[in-house]
Amino acid sequence: MRNIFLFIRRFRTMLLFLFLQGVAIWLLFSYNRFHKAKGLGVANEITGWVNKKYNFFEDFFYAAQ
């Protein structure tokens, strides 16, 4: 627990920056139609890629039985 507090204390500026960046990106995607559509398109591409890889490994192990 002490190490967690030391980590937060040491990197508080970077953690605050990352938090504020996350809020800014959330606001951008929430209130701008163009960015929302682009963000959803990228998210769908990433999800499809992950599902394709998962299905490949799943098929590989089921074919071995």
What are the pLDDT digits (tens) for 25-64? Answer: 999 999 999 999 999 999 999 999 999 999 999 888 887 6
Q: Residue 65: its pLDDT value, please?
A: 65
Cα separation, 62 vs 8, whole angstroms: 44
Cα separation, 25 vs 17, whole angstroms: 12
- pLDDT higher than threshold 80 for residue 14: yes
Contact 29, 39 (CB under 8 A): yes
Q: Residue 60: its pLDDT value, please?
A: 84
The pTM of this model reads 0.63
Report the C-alpha dihedral over residues 34, 39, 41, 46, rounded to 10 degrees. 170
